[in-house]
Amino acid sequence: METILVLAHTENDGSLAKSAREALHAAATLHKSLADSKLLVGLIGENIQAAANSIAASPVTKYFGVTGAEFCQSRYATDAAAAEAVFKAAQATVVVAPATSRWARVLPGVAQRLGGRADTHVTGVAVADGKISVSRWYYRQRMEGVLTRTPRPWILGIDPGSQTACDCGAGTATVEMVPVNLTDANKRTTVVGIREPKADAQTIRPDAQLLFVTGAGWTKKQADGQTHLPEAEKLILGFLKASRASLGSSKSLVDLGGEGQAVLPFLSHLNQVGQTGATPRHAKGLSTCCHGEEPHTVGWRFIGERRAISLDPNCGWARGKADVLYVADAFAVIAKVNELLAAGGTP
Partner 1 sequence: MSTAYQIVVCGSIVPDPLQTLEPVASPTGPALKNEMMLPAVLDPWAGHALYEAANLAKNQPGSKVWLVSLGPKAKLQQVMMTVAQKVPFELVALDGSASGFTDATETAAALADAIAAIPGLDKSKLLVFGGWESASRGAGATLQIVGERLGIVDQFQGVDQLTVNADGSLEILERIEGGKHQVSKCAGAPALLGWATGNLPEPKNNPQVGMVNMRTVMPALQKAKPTKLAGEGLSFASVALPKQLRETQIVKDKSPDGIAKEIVEWIKK
Ligand X SMILES: Cc1cc2nc3c(=O)[nH]c(=O)nc-3n(C[C@H](O)[C@H](O)[C@H](O)COP(=O)(O)OP(=O)(O)OC[C@H]3O[C@@H](n4cnc5c(N)ncnc54)[C@H](O)[C@@H]3O)c2cc1C
Of residues 167-226, those binding partner 1 (CB under 8 A):
185-186, 188-197, 202-206, 209-210
Residue 289 binds which of partner 1, ligand X, none (CB < 5-8 A, kind-dependent): ligand X
Q: How far is CA 342 from the centre of its chain?
A: 31
Q: Is 88 in the site for partner 1 (CB under 8 A)?
A: no
When binding is defined by CB under 8 A, the residue of 18, 62, 149, 228 that contacts partner 1 is 149
Q: Which of these, 308, 303, 256, 264, lies nearest to 284 by C-alpha position?
A: 303
The 8-class DSSP code of residue 278 comes to B
Sheet with 154-158, edge to edge strand ranges: 131-138, 117-128, 154-158, 94-98, 3-9, 38-45, 62-67, 175-177
| Backbone angles phi and psi of 237, in degrees to 5 | -65, -35
Dmax over Cα atoms in the chain, in whole Å? 71
Residue 3 binds which of ligand X, partner 1, none (CB < 5-8 A, kind-dependent): none
When binding is defined by CB under 6 A, the residue of 252, 256, 266, 335 that contacts ligand X is 252
When binding is defined by CB under 6 A, the residue of 75, 136, 291, 321 that contacts ligand X is 291
When binding is defined by CB under 8 A, the residue of 113, 228, 234, 281 that contacts partner 1 is 113
Helices 229-243 and 330-342, packing angle to 10 deg: 40
d(CA 289, CA 336): 16
The 8-class DSSP code of residue 70 comes to G
Residue 238 binds which of ligand X, partner 1, none (CB < 5-8 A, kind-dependent): none
CB nearer ligand X, residue 132 or residue 273: 273
When binding is defined by CB under 8 A, the residue of 59, 130, 145, 230 that contacts partner 1 is 145
Q: Is 12 in the site for partner 1 (CB under 8 A)?
A: no
Q: Is 272 in the site for ligand X (CB under 6 A)?
A: yes
Size of the site for ligand X (CB under 6 A): 30
Q: Are 275 and 241 in contact (CB under 8 A)?
A: no
When binding is defined by CB under 6 A, the residue of 102, 293, 325, 337 that contacts ligand X is 293
Q: How far is the CB of 121 from ligand X (least distance, A)?
A: 16
Amino acid at 53: N
Q: How far is the CB of 139 from partner 1 (least distance, A)?
A: 5
Q: Which of these, 159, 164, 165, lies nearest to 302 by C-alpha position?
A: 159
In the region spanning residues 250 to 289, those forming contacts with partner 1, defined by CB under 8 A, are: 255, 258-259, 269-272, 275-277, 284, 286
Residue 170 binds which of partner 1, ligand X, none (CB < 5-8 A, kind-dependent): none
Cβ neighbours of 177 (radius 10 Å): 13
In the region spanning residues 279 to 338, those forming contacts with partner 1, defined by CB under 8 A, are: 284, 286, 293-295, 298, 301, 305-307, 309, 313, 317-329, 332-337
d(CA 84, CA 88): 6
Q: How far is the CB of 220 from ligand X (least distance, A)?
A: 5
Written as one string, the DSSP assignment of 31-45 is: HHHSTT-EEEEEEEE
In the region spanning residues 174 to 193, those forming contacts with ligand X, defined by CB under 6 A, are: none
In the region spanning residues 304 to 323, those forming contacts with ligand X, defined by CB under 6 A, are: 309-312, 315
d(CA 266, CA 289): 17
Strand partners, 278: 273
Q: Are 313 and 292 in contact (CB under 8 A)?
A: no
Q: Is 22 in the site for partner 1 (CB under 8 A)?
A: no
Residues that bind ligand X (CB under 6 A): 215-217, 220, 222, 250-253, 272-277, 289-291, 293, 295-296, 299, 309-312, 315, 329-331
